[in-house]
Amino acid sequence: MSGPGPRATRARDRWRAALPGLLLVVLGLVAFAILLDSVQEQDDLHAIDEPVLNWLAANRSAAGTTALYLVTLVSGPVILPILVGSGVLAWGVTRHRWWRPLFLLGATCAASLISLAVKRRVARPRPPVEYQYVPGAETTFSFPSGHTIVTATLCLVAGYLLWSRHRTKRRLAGWLAGSVVVTAAVGLSRLYLGYHFVTDVLAAVALAVAVLGVVVAADRLRTLRRRAGPPERP
pLDDT by 10s per residue, the chain, length 234: 455 655 656 778 788 889 999 999 999 999 999 999 999 999 889 999 999 999 999 999 999 999 999 999 999 999 999 999 999 999 889 888 888 899 999 999 999 999 999 999 999 999 999 999 988 888 899 999 999 999 999 999 999 998 988 888 898 999 999 999 999 999 999 999 999 999 999 999 999 999 999 999 999 998 888 776 554 443
Taking the CA atoms of the chain, what radius of gyration do you get in angstroms? Answer: 20
Q: How far is CA 203 from CA 58, 87, 115, 153, 228, in A?
A: 24, 27, 10, 13, 38
- Number of neighbours of residue 25 by Cβ within 10 angstroms: 20
DSSP state string for 166-225: S--HHHHHHHHHHHHHHHHHHHHHHHHTTS--HHHHHHHHHHHHHHHHHHHHHHHHHHHH
Report d(CA 183, CA 204) in Å as an integer.
10
- Tell me which long-range contacts 11-19 makes (C-beta under 8 A, separation of at least 24): 13/224, 14/221, 14/224, 17/217, 17/220, 17/221, 17/223, 17/224, 18/217, 18/220, 18/221
